Structure 1
């Protein structure tokens, strides 16, 4: 299999004004009684995209997936796939297939029969079924497990059987509802890359629902961050992380420090006067007196015993190490600032041993370059 690198670097149909969306949600609303699960949502997904719907419980992501699959009908709005409206089309006639979190395998059937089930329901000839099942078993590397039943498989193997069954009918779109939730951490990480490779090899469009930020960041070409039935931001993983469009997205994706204060003018330039009385140069001019926050990721913060050099264009403030979390590959310091605010700073453990490590209650300096932060106005 070829490396995904070249493909993923060049794949950006959403940036092409002439590209037509493969899946479109237009002003879609879904209500259950008085509760609005999806609220006037519009969204485009493109052919061969690995698209993630990310959000907490009850944000509407699974409802959106179920409407695309045909298990729920929109209260209002329109969903189209490949230029065709899906209104009134039952699930079994849609060119999509859904892989459920529970896998929903038939316990009394072998792996082979589980994969073949949908093909038999469609009346495919036996010889073609056998050929297709063999292809799917090879694809998910389960050729030697064809005669086993689900209870004789590991969690990762059951996940692969469910995936093979979902792909056997060759859908145009594969929908995955929390597909890796039942796997342990190490297997989940391995399977993420397997799914990426598989999606590229098959050339299909994958839409995955997940609450796991790391999972969405690893696998997807783009992420839609959802809250209360609405899409808050749609962007690539790097854009979501480095340039969140709101406080909600910044705080939902990974760890973040919020340096809050008011805009002031110093030497004709906008600065943020923080709670600790430190001036942070802002990357853009803003109205004086306005309350804003500067979102800074922990890895952008530097912890040092020595004060930054005079004249350095840095945010720098004295603090005290309050807590230390050692994760092996990195160490996270919780630093208490003079205002009482606690910030997080992470440091990569690039060497095997650390000489004279920082200790609890030690007085240190926290600093970062102003361009490392993102101004959030709302």
Structure 2
């Protein structure tokens, strides 16, 4: 099997004008009574893409997935799959399969019988079923557990049985609704990479719904961040994290510090912002907000440095404060630094060495600072 690195670096059909979407949501709206679950949403997903729908509970992501599967019908708009409108096509006739968070395994059936169930329903010959089941169980590394029943398996193994059953019919699209939610943290992290490898092996299009940002960032080629039935931003994980298109996305994805202020200058690819707390910020930006207008500045904790001495950039992009809280996480240390205006800034530092000669402690006076390219200007 090829390394995912070379494949994922070059895979970007969404940036090719000649590429045609494999799945298209065109002005799709779904209402339940007076509640609008999906609001006039348009979205394109491409062949062999690992696509993530990310958002808080109630944002409409699962409803979108259920409409693609055929379990719900759009109130208006159209869903197109591989050039065909899905209007009026029942779930069992769609070239998609769905893996649920609960796994929905039959407790009285063996592992191989669970995987074979859909194939039997489709009338596949017995010999072909046996061969396909064997292929699927080897693929998910469960061929030695074929005769066991679900209660004799671990949570991770049950998850892989459900996955094998979902792909046994070789759908064009695999839909995954919070597929790793029932797993513990370490197993969830391992399974994320297993899913990526499996998707590359099968050459299928995966659409996953999750509220776990780390899960989406790890697995997906692109992420659609959703809120209130709308897509707020669609981009690759690095773009979502480093270049959020709005205050909502910046605040929703990962940890962030947001400073609000007034634009004092815009020139030569830089923006100057004077914050309400007295911090002067100079940042490289393609944005050109109006001088005198309001703007925000978002900077991630790992981009902020903490030290005992005044940095060379001061007074720009630097402020004094007091260490308020410290969180040691093993791989990194998180500092909460209270500035003079009372706001608390979060900074994180990688623990690259085992011992630090001059560690920063509680209630210590420190400086926090960041580079001119460390964050982004937010207009809203």
Q: TM-score normalized by structure 2?
A: 0.97
In the alignment, which residue of structure 2 is the partner of 1:340?
Answer: 342
Which of residues 365, 368, 380 in structure 2 aligns to 1:366? Answer: 368
Deviation readout 1:73-128 (Å, 9 max, x if unpaired): 00000000000000000000000000000000000000000000000000000000
1:113 lines up with 2:113 in the alignment: yes
In the alignment, which residue of structure 2 is the partner of 1:13?
Answer: 13
SS of corresponding position for 2:373: helix
In the alignment, which residue of structure 2 is the partner of 1:153?
Answer: 153
Native 8 Å contact 2:266 2:291 kept in 1: no
Alpha-carbon distance, 1:287 to partner: 1.6
Deviation readout 1:101-156 (Å, 9 max, x if unpaired): 00000000000000000000000000000000000010000011000000000000
1:298 lines up with 2:265 in the alignment: no
Residues 362, 26 of structure 1: alpha-carbon distance in 2 compared, 3 angstrom cutoff: same
Whole-angstrom distance in 2 between the partners of 1:158 and 1:265: 58
Residues 122, 313 of structure 1: alpha-carbon distance in 2 compared, 3 angstrom cutoff: farther
Alpha-carbon distance, 1:6 to partner: 0.5
Deviation readout 1:292-321 (Å, 9 max, x if unpaired): 110000000000101012x66951111110
Alpha-carbon distance, 1:355 to partner: 1.9
Matches within 5 A, 1:1-378: 1-265=1-265, 270-284=271-285, 285-309=288-312, 314-378=316-380
SS of corresponding position for 2:162: helix
Whole-angstrom distance in 2 between the partners of 1:194 and 1:272: 45
Native 8 Å contact 1:213 1:253 kept in 2: yes
SS of corresponding position for 2:377: strand
Native 8 Å contact 1:256 1:296 kept in 2: yes
Native 8 Å contact 1:261 1:272 kept in 2: yes
Residues 174, 267 of structure 1: alpha-carbon distance in 2 compared, 3 angstrom cutoff: closer
Q: TM-score normalized by structure 1?
A: 0.98
Whole-angstrom distance in 2 between the partners of 1:5 and 1:267: 38
Whole-angstrom distance in 1 between the partners of 2:149 and 2:320: 62
Which stretches of structure 1, 4 residues or more, deviate above 2 A after TM superposition? 265-270, 282-286, 311-314
Aligned residue pair count? 377
Alpha-carbon distance, 1:176 to partner: 0.2
CA RMSD in angstroms, aligned pairs only: 1.3
Native 8 Å contact 1:28 1:78 kept in 2: yes
Q: Which runs of 5+ in 1 are unaligned?
A: none
Whole-angstrom distance in 2 between the partners of 1:228 and 1:34: 14
SS of corresponding position for 1:255: coil
Q: Which runs of 5+ in 2 are unaligned?
A: none
Alpha-carbon distance, 1:195 to partner: 0.1
Native 8 Å contact 1:270 1:288 kept in 2: no
Deviation readout 1:203-257 (Å, 9 max, x if unpaired): 0000000000000000000000000000000000000000000011001100000
Greater CA deviation, 348-357 or 107-116? 348-357
Residues 266, 44 of structure 1: alpha-carbon distance in 2 compared, 3 angstrom cutoff: closer
